[in-house]
Amino acid sequence: MATVLISGLGLIGSSIARVMRGNDSDIELIGSDPDDDTSQFLLDHHIIDKRMNFAAAAQIADLIVLAGPVSVIISQLKQLANIKLKPDVLVTDVGSTKAAVERAAEPLLAKGVNFVGGHPMAGSDKSGSQFGSQHLFDHAVYFLLTKSQTNRKLIWFQTLMAGTDIHWQAIDAKQHDQLVSELSHVPHVIAVTLVNTIADSLAGNPAGLRAAAGGFKDTTRIAASDPTMWTAIMLSNADQISRELVQFQKHLAAFQQAIQSHDEKTIRETLETLRRIRKSLDEGK
Amino acid sequence: MATVLISGLGLIGSSIARVMRGNDSDIELIGSDPDDDTSQFLLDHHIIDKRMNFAAAAQIADLIVLAGPVSVIISQLKQLANIKLKPDVLVTDVGSTKAAVERAAEPLLAKGVNFVGGHPMAGSDKSGSQFGSQHLFDHAVYFLLTKSQTNRKLIWFQTLMAGTDIHWQAIDAKQHDQLVSELSHVPHVIAVTLVNTIADSLAGNPAGLRAAAGGFKDTTRIAASDPTMWTAIMLSNADQISRELVQFQKHLAAFQQAIQSHDEKTIRETLETLRRIRKSLDEGK
């Protein structure tokens, strides 16, 4: 029987536990999380078998899944390089940025430990183990950053994650971090800034809040996400996010100028071009 | 039997037609729209009874609903001031900005015509009569800008729109235009600019497009909306939108600076504050 340690039992970690449990594989699932309620919830629901301290569990694990915030993943990777692990262990993570994670994994790689970086592109504005789901990764892309792991180990991990329709996608750290900056981190900064801009004005305006239908709630939904996770993400991908924001600011300044000067032609052309692009996203072209 | 003219048979206009039709009121519904397919679709589905030229239909109508883009509404209001209307007619519109509409209605008001401005806060990134629905306005706020209409006429209009759970909400033009700028127009500019910023980078990156799950698609969905309608909106509320965008740019520059300088404290505090605010929106507080 294999022993799996999942460290970080939030939305992603608890969903991975649910998927592995749902597969009825012959595994023992150990959870490690500083939060008592989270751990107890998963024990009560028989999603994990046991709760243990990270360092102790790491020594007996055949698979270690690091599913905390990026900052925690980075410190745990360094910690693992100083722990006596099982010789055949596979270490993986689910961090939202990968270049910083790969740097932190170097001491572990130097010791010849099997490591593969990972990032499932699934999430929710809800956080916490109770919102996890066996189906969170259905139809989602799961990025893999192959490093020192053997092929046999990688296939074993994918087998444990079977039963959910994951699109496994190989990528390198640089491409990954640029892509998630564009698809996720920069949109997050924008959503947060939008809420910031109008918050004062909307406060104490019940009619306005009730009218906040459709567009506004959609655009800003992700601003309700977990601040700890997002602070770690922004710090670990700061240079890329910052560069993209500078580009965004240039485009926005041009559009603002067109609106301020009532430049109908520029406004219309911008909207028409972008409508075509946005539609092509939905069609997956 | 009362005669109702709906000019502009897109998402909103055709939904109003469906609501009135669904009420089985004893009315004749005349549609006016430059698009042949749109008109034929509604005739085929018995949602409107007749298609007519705007000026001709206006002369025999008891209720005139202007449901085209704001630019069309403005020109039709001016046009109506030069048409011999029925003495007891009620004119209303559904335009997304109201100060410009009220200015355009002045000649009509000077002639003593019943006019009430309106704006249902409902929509979709889909446009066109086939996407209209009898339930589009369910639970939506419908702003009313009372002007020269009699109370009797206003109640009659609301009766025609019964059977859908509309929250009627009185507001003045200045407050309205500021509110929709914040809730709708500025978010629209932001979404469009976000697509603009990353479009080049994503083009020709199928893995990236497939990975565009969750946040990104949500944030940018409204960029797929009708460019004609949105160009008209932006021009008619340009000063307000422009002012808000300048505020947004200031907030964004500060956040970008915090990210660039890896200022963990500022990033975390910003995210925590805004999460609280965004959550309070969902709770309607």
How does pLDDT run across B107-140, given as a tens digit for each residue? 999 999 999 999 998 876 677 888 899 999 998 8
CB contact under 8 A, B195 and A223: no
CB contact under 8 A, A274 and B199: yes
Whether residue A85 is found in the same domain as residue A97: yes
Whether residue A48 is found in the same domain as residue A164: yes
| Cβ contact B157:B90 at 8 Å | yes
Whether residue A277 is predicted with pLDDT greater than 80 in this model: the reply is no
For residue A44, give the CATH number of its domain.
Answer: 3.40.50.720
User: Between B141, B196, B215, which is nearest A187 by CB?
Assistant: B215
Domain C-terminal end among A138, A171, A204: A171
What are the backbone dihedrals phi and psi of residue A32, each rounded to the nearest 5 degrees, phi first? -135, 120
**pLDDT score for A139:** 84
**pLDDT score for A42:** 96
Whether residue A23 is found in the same domain as residue A36: yes
**pLDDT score for A285:** 42
**How far B169 CA sits from the closest chain A CA (Å)?**
8
Chain B: residue whose CA lies nearest to A237: B259
For residue A190, give the CATH number of its domain.
Answer: 1.10.3660.10
Domain C-terminal end among B120, B151, B171: B171
| Contacting residues of B for A265, CB less than 8 Å apart | none
Whether residue B206 is predicted with pLDDT greater than 80 in this model: the reply is no
Q: Residues B246-250: contacts with CB within 8 Å, 24+ apart?
A: B246/A256, B247/A197, B248/A193, B248/A194, B248/A197, B248/A252, B248/B186, B248/B190, B249/A249, B249/A252, B249/A253, B249/A256
Residue-wise pLDDT for B233-257, tens only, equals 899 899 999 999 999 999 999 999 9
**pLDDT score for B285:** 42
**pLDDT score for A164:** 86
Confidence of residue B7 (pLDDT cuts 50, 70, 90): very high
Say which residue the tokens 């048409």 belong to.
B83
**How far A149 CA sits from the closest chain B CA (Å)?**
23
**pLDDT score for A203:** 64
Whether residue A82 is found in the same domain as residue A215: no
Confidence of residue A113 (pLDDT cuts 50, 70, 90): very high
**pLDDT score for A211:** 65
Whether residue B31 is found in the same domain as residue B165: yes
| Contacting residues of A for B284, CB less than 8 Å apart | 206, 209-210
Count of domains for chain A: 2
Window 17-76 of B, Cβ < 8 Å to A? none
User: Between A225, A226, A252, which is nearest B249 by CB?
Assistant: A252
Question: Quick one: B283 exposed, middle or buried, by C-beta within 10 A (0-12, 13-18, 19+)?
Answer: exposed
| Cβ contact A83:A55 at 8 Å | yes
Average pLDDT over chain A reads: 89
CB contact under 8 A, A277 and B195: yes
Residue-wise pLDDT for A121-167, tens only, equals 887 667 788 889 999 999 888 999 988 878 899 999 999 999 888 99
What are the backbone dihedrals phi and psi of residue B142, each rounded to the nearest 5 degrees, phi first? -120, 105
CB contact under 8 A, B198 and A183: yes
Confidence of residue B214 (pLDDT cuts 50, 70, 90): low
% of chain A at pLDDT higher than 70: 89
Whether residue B151 is found in the same domain as residue B191: no
Residue-wise pLDDT for A238-248, tens only, equals 999 999 999 99
Chain A: residue whose CA lies nearest to B272: A227
Whether residue A136 is found in the same domain as residue A15: yes
**pLDDT score for B219:** 60
Confidence of residue B35 (pLDDT cuts 50, 70, 90): very high
Window 160-219 of A, Cβ < 8 Å to B? 167, 169, 171, 178-179, 182-184, 186-199, 201-202, 205-219
Whether residue B70 is predicted with pLDDT greater than 80 in this model: the reply is yes
What are the backbone dihedrals phi and psi of residue A243, each rounded to the nearest 5 degrees, phi first? -60, -45
Whether residue A198 is found in the same domain as residue A144: no
Question: Edge-to-edge strands of the sheet including B114-120?
Answer: B50-51, B27-32, B2-7, B63-66, B90-93, B114-120, B141-146, B167-170
User: Between B182, B230, B256, which is nearest A201 by CB?
Assistant: B182
Domain C-terminal end among B117, B143, B171: B171
Chain A: residue whose CA lies nearest to B171: A207
Whether residue B180 is found in the same domain as residue B49: no
Q: Does A126 contact B at CB distance below 8 Å?
A: no
User: Up-side HSE of residue A49: CA atoms within 13 Å toward CB?
Assistant: 13
**pLDDT score for B32:** 97
Average pLDDT over chain B reads: 89
CB contact under 8 A, B234 and A259: yes
Say which residue the tokens 């209303």 belong to.
B92
Span A257-264, mean pLDDT?
96
Q: How many CB pairs under 8 A join A and B?
A: 292
| Choice between A17 and A282, residue whose per-residue pLDDT is larger | A17
Cα separation of A60 and A86, whole Å? 7
Q: Does A260 contact B at CB distance below 8 Å?
A: yes
Whether residue A256 is predicted with pLDDT greater than 50 in this model: the reply is yes
Span B32-49, mean pLDDT?
95
Whether residue A107 is found in the same domain as residue A229: no
User: Between A197, A199, A251, which is nearest B197 by CB?
Assistant: A251
Whether residue A182 is found in the same domain as residue A54: no
| Contacting residues of B for A284, CB less than 8 Å apart | 206, 209-210
Residue-wise pLDDT for A215-230, tens only, equals 566 656 767 778 888 9
Residue-wise pLDDT for A42-96, tens only, equals 999 999 999 999 999 999 999 999 999 999 999 999 999 999 999 999 999 999 8
**How far A27 CA sits from the closest chain B CA (Å)?**
30
Cα separation of A180 and B111, whole Å? 59
CB contact under 8 A, A231 and B267: yes
Confidence of residue A214 (pLDDT cuts 50, 70, 90): low
**How far A146 CA sits from the closest chain B CA (Å)?**
16
Of A66-75, B178-187, B258-267, the range with the lowest mean pLDDT is: B178-187
**Global ipTM:** 0.77
| Contacting residues of A for B260, CB less than 8 Å apart | 238-239, 242
Whether residue A113 is found in the same domain as residue A237: no
Span B67-88, mean pLDDT?
95
Beta strands in chain B (DSSP E): 2-7, 27-32, 50-51, 63-66, 90-93, 114-120, 141-146, 167-170
Instruction: Give the domain extent around B27.
Output: 2-171
